[in-house]
Amino acid sequence: QTLIDQRLFALDAQRIPLRATTDAEIATKIQETVSHFPSTAMFEQRLRQVGFDSVKDDNFERLIAKRLDIEKYINFRFESFVVVTPDEEKKYYRDTYTPSFHTRSPGLLVPTFDEKRNEIHDTLVQQKVAASIERFVDEAKQRVQIDILYDV
């Protein structure tokens, strides 16, 4: 399903003129990914396990470029149109953040709304983006014919 969703995004993204991904952006994303591993050598070992030669493998760089293109598309198509109101932020703080904090950290003083406002805002944006993406994928799947081919 993930491959189908990615392909639907890629097809829709072709309709929207976005700035091309640069080599510098690809290098930055690769470095960011490598940083999640104990060492570059361990990351490259993992790459070889999944069929790539190294971080300089053309196919790996193309894969990263495609992921960045999809991220740009999602940002433009979904995130840039999300509106989170102050009332939504306060409601989330009151109804979700505070009870969750009390459960996770009983006895500790709950951070103030102002201290957590940016984090709450980002959480609400991501929730709305996820809901928009889900609606888009559901609608797109109804508009297209999907043929799943298996190697014989």
Residues 68-113 pLDDT 10s = 988 888 888 889 889 999 999 999 999 999 999 999 999 999 999 9
Residue 104 and residue 140 in one domain: yes
Residue 54 and residue 88 in one domain: no
pTM for the whole structure: 0.70
The total domain count for the chain is: 2
Classify 149 as helix, strand or coil. Answer: coil
From residue 5, give the alpha-carbon distance in Å to each of 100, 114, 125: 32, 37, 21
**DSSP H helices in the chain:** 2-13, 23-34, 40-49, 58-77, 86-92, 98-104, 113-143
| pLDDT attached to residue 145 | 76
Of the three residues 77, 109, 128, the one that is the final residue of a domain is: 77
**What is the C-alpha radius of gyration for the chain, rounded to an integer number of angstroms?**
20
Of the three residues 26, 45, 77, the one that is the final residue of a domain is: 77
For residue 58, give its domain range. 1-77
Residue 16 and residue 57 in one domain: yes
Residue 107 and residue 60 in one domain: no
44 CB-side CA count, 13 A: 8
Reply yes or no on whether the pLDDT at 152 is more than 60.
no
Mean pLDDT of 127-146: 86
| pLDDT attached to residue 140 | 82
| pLDDT attached to residue 9 | 75
Residue 148: pLDDT band by 50, 70, 90 thresholds? confident
| pLDDT attached to residue 16 | 77
Residue 73 and residue 5 in one domain: yes
Reply yes or no on whether the pLDDT at 22 is more than 80.
yes
Residue 38 and residue 87 in one domain: no
